Amino acid sequence: MTRFPFFDGHNDLLLRLLRGKVTAQGVASGLPDGHIDKPRAQRGGFGGGMFAIFVPSPSDNSLSHDEMRHPPYDIPLPAPVSEEEAVGWTERGFAALDDLESAGAIRLCRTAAEVEAALPAEEMAAVAHIEGAEAIDRDFERLHAWHARGLRSLGPVWSRDTVWGHGVPFRYPSDPDIGPGLTEAGKALVRECSRLKIVVDLSHLNAKGVEDVAAITDAPLVATHSNAWSICPHARNLTDRQLDMIRDSDGMVGINFASAFLRPDGCMDAEFGLDILLRHFDHLVERLGEDRVGFGSDFDGALVPDPITDCAGLPNLTEALQSHGVDDGLLAKITHGNWLRVLRLTWGE
Ligand code: ZN
């Protein structure tokens, strides 16, 4: 394994398992497609990351990639998902993590010390994340039960309205300051997550939602998979004002590889060079400082630039960063050190 293993803020491998497209054994032995499996992770230095449990909307099988090929676009928020459906799906998500661990593909990590120990290991370090909290009940019983099963990070909403708040739409170009943020129930959820030391992910919140979280929590503010709005003015990206809030909280941002959130033209097209990703990197480092930037690939959930293609292509990113003047010290921080720092702070280690 490389000296610079990546800990990654976001992937959607579990969604492929839950849709029956791949098996845990397949992830362990190697897959013909998709972005992540164990052999490619070892080749590419993908040490692990946040594994998202995401409940898809009933209506959309793919995220309107066609519409996003033709900016400008404004994709309506998908219909809400019922709590009952979300609970079943989320239970299966935790079972899938157990299956991956039994198959020898991952090590489910509950502490930053466990993540650090797993990064150079054959198995991928996996932190359980819930993306969109439809499955959580108002009394937080399931939040506590899933925390006991390893849940360490949660996004109150995906880009879809829930009882907790309003998601940010896939809209380009657009300011993320769209509509109301968290509901009173959503604010209570953030308080409970803070009490349990669960990371609250800002990535799919609108501007008001980000402010609501910032007003409640003392934990570092974290956007696991988002980019710089000043480079790509997509509603999913972070404005300088939001970046300043994240810096002031000593939090961090994971750079998302999704083409539509990287390219200045907002187009969902993977044919472009890593120079565009480096522009986001430069802006984020300038705004946040070297200790508050990492990666959040969105592997298996997004169309990633051709020079990376999948997790085996991460050495191309490392090389591009080195050619860009990033020295070994900074490379260690942005590939994994900054994530470990923020997880330690948040989880109280
Ligand atoms: Zn996402």
* Residue 66: pLDDT band with limits 50, 70, 90: confident
CA 207/CA 195 separation, integer angstroms:
23
Please tell me the predicted confidence (pLDDT) of residue 58: 76
Examine residue 226 and state whether it is found in any structural domain, yes or no. yes
CA 191 to ligand 1 center in whole angstroms: 22
| Domain of 55, in residue numbers | 6-347
Please tell me the predicted confidence (pLDDT) of residue 278: 98
Examine residue 158 and state whether it is found in any structural domain, yes or no. yes
The CATH number that applies at residue 144 is: 3.20.20.140
Examine residue 1 and state whether it is found in any structural domain, yes or no. no
Please tell me the predicted confidence (pLDDT) of residue 20: 96
pTM for this model (two decimals):
0.97
Q: Worst-scoring range by mean pLDDT, 162-171, 253-262, 277-286, 329-338?
A: 162-171
CA 156 to ligand 1 center in whole angstroms: 12
Give one DSSP letter per residue of 269-311, joined into a string: -----THHHHHHHHHHHHHH-GGGEEE---BTTS---TTT-SG
CA 304 to ligand 1 center in whole angstroms: 13
CA 162/CA 252 separation, integer angstroms:
25
Q: How many domains does the chain have?
A: 1
Using the 8-state DSSP alphabet, how is residue 37 labeled? -
CA 132 to ligand 1 center in whole angstroms: 9
Examine residue 86 and state whether it is found in any structural domain, yes or no. yes
CA 294/CA 143 separation, integer angstroms:
27
CA 225 to ligand 1 center in whole angstroms: 7
Q: What is the pLDDT of residues 199-219, one digit of tens each?
A: 999 999 999 999 999 999 999
CA 294 to ligand 1 center in whole angstroms: 16
